[in-house]
Amino acid sequence: MEMSETPMGTVEIAPNVFWVGAKDPNRRLFDGLIPLPHGTSYNAYLIIGSEKTVLIDSVNPGFEDELVDKISQHADPGKIDYIVMNHAEPDHASALMHMLSLAKGAKLVTSAKGKEAAMMYFHVPEDRIMVVDEGSTINLGGKTLKFVDAPWLHWPETMFTYLQEDGVLFPCDFYGSHIAYGEFFADEFGEGHTLELAKLYFAEIMMPFRKPAMKAIEKTKQLNPKVIAPSHGVMYRRPELIVDAYTDWAGEKMRKKVLIAYVSMWGRTEHMVKALREALVHKGIETQVFDLTVTGIGEVAKQLIDSPVVVIGAPTVLGGVHPVAAYAALLTKTLRAPTKYAAVLSSHGWSGGAVRQLGEILGGTKIEMLGVVDAKGPASDDDISKVLQLADDIEKKLNELS
Ligand code: FEO
């Protein structure tokens, strides 16, 4: 399939199918939570059939004019017939009313839950909305849109749109990545580099929704698209790259790996972390250690995808857990990481509290606590013996998993 970038920055990804989105390299945070070291993009797509013209999703607030300029290179924005809303989150949907006001005859096409969201968030009049569900089609003239039910990726109303004749799948957030570089396709950007960033994105956005993700992956495999065109980051003209990766990540394909995330004030917790790391490495167990004071929380989230064991290292501060470690533990719970086992290494001076509070944070999960070492002051020989015992216990559990 031929794909080419036009002089004005749109990209033809199939005949009369154009990327008309916006790149946002300066954005550094998403949802007030997720770090974006490489910015992101809001990918919208224009499809021109012989009879009807469609816009697939839109852009983040502030990029409306850029979207309209790009559409105008290929079609009259006022003559758009359908605006598909695969997802109602504002980074894709907040420009919809702007587009509907330009294209006065256009219908907003979305799922039943998408209709509720469009009316609630964007005050789209009910008579401008056309509801579609699994298997619904729209004929554009030589091109057919087919809609795929794909809820909870990552809000309840999400769906995919598939352009049958050209084999292009538009899954909105799913299969996305936060990348705002010049390259548009994974093979241009570098597939290895793409997967690293896609994995980071999966951890932060899709990891809590692994079950609906697996259903959507199966549907993708049945469609067997030639191109996957998500609404963030690069597109895939070798779709199996991202589909296979998602199959591993959503399918909880674990490594024989231990993730240790720690913070240490005076090196006492760190001393136990180092002892545990050394023992695990000696046993040939992949061990990734992150000092939370210098590691972005996104990197920890990414490692949670395939780490069956997570060890939190944190001292007691003012009767509770060090807040930086509390954040890491809460993130593990919030992202519903597939963690099987956890352990805590801690130290305290005149009172404990870190271990109790970490237990409270991780409470209500299916994570089994393998062990706790809570040293009073610097770790004693007895404390280090407990750390070494913990390494043995971790090895045993990992062997049972494999
Ligand atoms: Fe890219 Fe869930 O919005």
Distance from the CA of 307 to the center of ligand 1, in angstroms? 26
Distance from the CA of 154 to the center of ligand 1, in angstroms? 7
* Cβ atoms 261, 290 nearer than 8 A: yes
- Predicted pLDDT of residue 296: 85
The total of other beta-carbon atoms located within 10 Å of residue 187's CB is 14
Give per-residue pLDDT as tens, 11-39.
Answer: 999 999 999 999 999 998 888 778 888 89
Give the single-character DSSP code of 238.
S
| Confidence label for 5 from pLDDT (cuts 50, 70 and 90) | low
Q: Residue 1: is its pLDDT beyond 60? A: no
Distance from the CA of 46 to the center of ligand 1, in angstroms? 19
HSE (CB half, 13 Å, CA atoms) of 60?
16
| Confidence label for 108 from pLDDT (cuts 50, 70 and 90) | very high
Q: Mean pLDDT lowest for which of 26-35, 131-140, 241-250, 385-394?
A: 26-35
Kindly state if the Cβ of 24 falls inside 6 Å of ligand 1. Answer: no
* 222: Cβ contacts below 8 Å, ≥ 6 apart: none
Q: Residue 7: is its pLDDT beyond 50? A: no
Distance from the CA of 230 to the center of ligand 1, in angstroms? 10
Q: Residue 6: is its pLDDT beyond 80? A: no
* 238: Cβ contacts below 8 Å, ≥ 6 apart: 186, 187, 191
Kindly state if the Cβ of 89 falls inside 6 Å of ligand 1. Answer: yes
Instruction: Looking at the CA of residue 90, tell me the nearest atom of ligand 1.
Output: 3
Q: Is the dihedral of CA 48, 51, 57, 61 positive or negative?
A: positive
CA nearest ligand 1 atom 3, residue? 89
CA nearest ligand 1 atom 1, residue? 173
Kindly state if the Cβ of 270 falls inside 6 Å of ligand 1. Answer: no
Q: Residue 384: is its pLDDT beyond 60? A: yes
Instruction: Looking at the CA of residue 172, tell me the nearest atom of ligand 1.
Output: 1
Whether the pTM exceeds 0.85: the reply is yes
- Mean pLDDT throughout 373-392? 97
- Predicted pLDDT of residue 278: 98
Q: Which residues of 278-292 are buried (b: 16+ CB within 10 A; e: fewer)?
A: ebbeeeebebebbeb
Give per-residue pLDDT as tens, 159-173.
Answer: 999 999 999 999 999
The total of other beta-carbon atoms located within 10 Å of residue 324's CB is 16
- Mean pLDDT throughout 131-159? 97
Give per-residue pLDDT as tens, 234-275.
Answer: 999 999 999 999 999 999 999 999 999 999 999 999 999 999
Q: What tokens were used for 249?
A: 């990540």
Kindly state if the Cβ of 154 falls inside 6 Å of ligand 1. Answer: yes
Distance from the CA of 219 to the center of ligand 1, in angstroms? 20
Please state, rounded to an integer, the average pLDDT across all residues of the chain: 95
Instruction: Looking at the CA of residue 155, tell me the nearest atom of ligand 1.
Output: 2
Instruction: Looking at the CA of residue 176, tell me the nearest atom of ligand 1.
Output: 1
Query: What number does CATH give the domain 259-394?
Result: 3.40.50.360
- Mean pLDDT throughout 132-144? 97
- Predicted pLDDT of residue 32: 79
* Cβ atoms 203, 302 nearer than 8 A: yes
Q: In angstroms, rounded to a whole number, what is the distance separating the alpha carbons of residues 338 and 275?
A: 25
Give the residue range(s) of CATH 3.60.15.10 domains in the chain. 4-250
- Kindly state the percentage of the chain with pLDDT values over 90: 92
Distance from the CA of 80 to the center of ligand 1, in angstroms? 23
Distance from the CA of 118 to the center of ligand 1, in angstroms? 15
| Distances in whole angstroms, Cα of residue 1 to Cα of each of 4, 44, 239, 367 | 10, 20, 13, 47
Strand order, beta sheet including 341-348: 286-291, 257-262, 309-313, 341-348, 368-376
Q: 4-250: CATH homologous superfamily?
A: Ribonuclease Z/Hydroxyacylglutathione hydrolase-like (3.60.15.10)
Three-state SS sequence of 114-170:
HHHHHHHHHCCCHHHEEECCCCCEEECCCCEEEEEECCCCCCCCCEEEEECCCCEEE
| Confidence label for 287 from pLDDT (cuts 50, 70 and 90) | very high
Kindly state if the Cβ of 87 falls inside 6 Å of ligand 1. Answer: yes
Distance from the CA of 92 to the center of ligand 1, in angstroms? 7
Kindly state if the Cβ of 173 falls inside 6 Å of ligand 1. Answer: yes
Give per-residue pLDDT as tens, 69-94.
Answer: 999 999 999 999 999 999 999 999 99
- Predicted pLDDT of residue 34: 80
Q: What tokens were used for 254?
A: 């674990």
Distance from the CA of 224 to the center of ligand 1, in angstroms? 24
Instruction: Looking at the CA of residue 232, tell me the nearest atom of ligand 1.
Output: 1
| Confidence label for 8 from pLDDT (cuts 50, 70 and 90) | low
Q: Is the dihedral of CA 47, 240, 307, 179 positive or negative?
A: negative
Distance from the CA of 134 to the center of ligand 1, in angstroms? 21
Q: Residue 2: is its pLDDT beyond 50? A: no
Instruction: Looking at the CA of residue 231, tell me the nearest atom of ligand 1.
Output: 1
The SS3 of residue 90 is: helix
Q: Residue 4: is its pLDDT beyond 80? A: no
- Predicted pLDDT of residue 29: 87
Give per-residue pLDDT as tens, 329-370.
Answer: 999 999 999 999 999 999 999 999 999 999 999 988 999 999
Distance from the CA of 285 to the center of ligand 1, in angstroms? 36
Q: What tokens were used for 350?
A: 């005149």
Q: Where are the alpha helices (DSSP H) in 305-380?
A: 323-334, 354-362
Kindly state if the Cβ of 92 falls inside 6 Å of ligand 1. Answer: yes
Distance from the CA of 11 to the center of ligand 1, in angstroms? 22
- The amino acid at 139: N
